[in-house]
Structure formats: structure tokens, C-alpha cells
Structure 1
Amino acid sequence: MEKLEKLRYPIGHFSCPVEISEEDIKEWINVLDALPARLSNLVSVFSEAQLETPYRDGGWTVRQVIHHLADSHHHSYTRFKWALTENSPLIKAYYEKDWSEMFDAKTAPIELSLNYLTALHAKLVYLLKGISSEDFKKYYIHPEGNTNVSVVENLGKYAWHSNHHFAHIKNLAVRNGW
């Protein structure tokens, strides 16, 4: 059980600091800024067979993880925009597991999502570097549990999410000597 948990959460679960510093914000923005290049560099030499390898038994393939990152971060970008432009909006959740089973997530070239992540993260980082400390306090409401998620907490979650899935692929490559 412990080994499965380490495969599922190689960097642990997200834990938002009680006090979020400007240094935390800068670090999280840097993670988002670096993800597309880090990910592209990691998988650029992967064969089709390697892209079809799940990061753990019962887990998504590398291809699915890459497409999931693009889908999830697309949703996150929209959530940032909603929180910044509306008064505590109730967002729409999506079924990421169902999305990962769709034809495109299982078969599309990874370059589609890698290119999309490059453009999306460039826009997101530009946005996040330009908002005020007051903007970081704005929030949206997530329908699962009716929880308020601030812009700064969402930033932390998606920096963690970036590192979380990068670690899935990196650890798989290391375990298999790729």
C-alpha cells in the first residue's frame, strides 16, 4: 500500500501553507513558467511504446498524462480568469478520468498538448505576474464541497500539479532506464 501511494503521489499531496509569502508566489509562478520546456525536454526522446507505458499499474499512460496536463491547466486558466473577473463564481468541475479515456487523450500526438501548454503557460504566467496582491485574494467556489479556492491557492495547486505529473513521468523513465 505504501509503495502504491508513493507511485500515485511521488511528491506527496498538495498542502497549502497557512501563510503564503511573496517568495512562495514567485516560486510557484516559476514552476508554471518552466513546466512546458521541462516536460518537452523529458519526453522528446520517448518512443511510441514508451508513450503508451502507464506510470504505474492501473495508471494513465505517459501520453494520457501529457494530455491531462493540457486539459487540466486549461480549466485552471479559466478558473483564474473567472475568479479575477467575477464575484466569487461557482465553477464547473469536470471528470478528468473520463476525459483521459477519450480518443484524443489516448491517441493524439503529444506535440498538440506540449505546444498548447507552452502557449497556455506563457499567457498564464504573464497574467499572474501582472496581478495585484488583492487579486490573489479573490476566489472561486468549487462545487465539490462548496469550497472557496483563492487565486493564490489555485496557483499553488497548479504548481504542485505540474510537479506531481512531471514526477510521474520522470520516475517512470528512471525506473525503466530511459
Structure 2
Amino acid sequence: MKSTQLQLLKFPIGEFQKPDTISSEMINLWINDLERFPSEIDKATKVLSKEQLNWTYRPDGWNIKQVVHHCADSHMHSIIRFKLALTEDSPTIKPFYEDRWATLIDGNDDTLDDSLNVLRGLHSKLGQLLKHISEEELSREFVHPDHLKRLRIDETIGMYAWHSNHHLAHIKQAITYEGYFKM
């Protein structure tokens, strides 16, 4: 498989592109994406069998259940990052080894209920929090030590909306390919 084909499988909606200007309309669209994500992921996975939950979206990619469990793990970090940025002066966040987390027992559970429940509650809280952030608070930052850069809240809202849509596309891609890619 060519590297351009693999890149399309890895990033089916493209990589996140931070806009030069982030408007309030854009923020509202991103928050809407975040709020609807749990129901979209539930709709995409609720009729899948255990065999189908093991389908991967690309060669050497995660399977569907790992993607769902990863989203719960990653988005738990997201709300903590937002709250740290809102309550501290440019805090340095704690990154995590998502590839290692995906191999843990809960990252491979055939039952998605716990992760879907986490996503429903988390995204409800996230929506409530983000809808009430002031213009001034949108410019607050946190430091990501792995990337050695400061990230603003407004761009991070976009990154997590992209992350949600990115992984939803992975799930749909795995379903489309019906287990063609083996782990």
C-alpha cells in the first residue's frame, strides 16, 4: 500500500488545521460537534458484534473498540486540560502514552458501555463548560511538554472537535472495510 493511501487511512478527514482566525461561530460549531459526538459514536457501534469491534481502520491501526475506549481516555484528559488552563496561569499538562493505554485491559474490553457512558457524561460537562467561557478565557493557555508549545483554549476546542470527528471517521472506515485490515 502506498504511503499516500496509508496517510488517507490514518487521517480520513485530514489533519487538524488551526485557522488563522477563530470566530465565535466556529467555536459554536466545534462545541456542537463535541456535544453530539457520544450519540454519533453510539449510533455507529451499537449493532456491532464482538468480531466487528475487532475490525481495524488501517494496517497497524487500532480496532473499533480501542478507538472508542481511547476517546473516553483522551477526552477525560481534555476536560482536565481545559479546567487547568481556566484556573491556573499557563499550566504544564501531563501527557499520556495513548498507545500503551490502548493495550490495557479496559482498552480492549468488548463491551463499550462504560466508555460510552463516560463519553456521554464528559461531553455533556464539556459542552456546559465551553459554552460559558468568556472571550478573554478563550485566550488562556496550557503548555504541552511533548510539543513544547503553548496551546490556547480556543484552538484546543477545535482540536478536540477534530479529534472526535477523526475517530468517528476511523470507526466508519473500519466498518466500510469490514475487517479487511487485520491486527
Both structures adopt the same fold (TM-score exceeding 0.5)? yes
* Whole-Å separation in 2 of the counterparts to 1:76 and 1:145: 16
Aligned residue among 103, 113, 116 for 2:115? 113
Q: How much does 1:104 deviate?
A: 1.0
Structure 1 counterpart of 2:96: 94
* Whole-Å separation in 2 of the counterparts to 1:111 and 1:56: 24
Gaps of 5+ in 2: none
2:87 maps to 1:82: no
- The structure showing larger relative contact order (alpha-carbon pairs under 8 Å, at least 6 residues apart) is 2
CA-based RMSD of the aligned residues comes to: 1.1
Q: Which amino acid aligns with 1:83?
A: A
Corresponding residue pairs, total: 177
User: What TM-score, normalized to structure 1?
Assistant: 0.97
Aligned residue among 48, 51, 63 for 2:50? 48
Q: Which amino acid aligns with 1:29?
A: I
Aligned residue among 21, 31, 34 for 1:32? 34
* Whole-Å separation in 2 of the counterparts to 1:53 and 1:93: 27
Structure 2 counterpart of 1:165: 167
Deviates more, 1:157-166 or 1:50-59: 50-59
Structure 1 counterpart of 2:129: 127
User: What TM-score, normalized to structure 2?
Assistant: 0.94
* Whole-Å separation in 2 of the counterparts to 1:107 and 1:167: 21
* Whole-Å separation in 2 of the counterparts to 1:61 and 1:112: 17
* Whole-Å separation in 1 of the counterparts to 2:27 and 2:70: 24
Where 2:108 maps in the other structure, the secondary structure is: helix
Gaps of 5+ in 1: none
Deviates more, 1:104-113 or 1:32-41: 104-113
* Whole-Å separation in 2 of the counterparts to 1:169 and 1:44: 12
Q: How much does 1:175 deviate?
A: 3.0
Q: How much does 1:174 deviate?
A: 2.4
Q: How much does 1:131 deviate?
A: 1.2
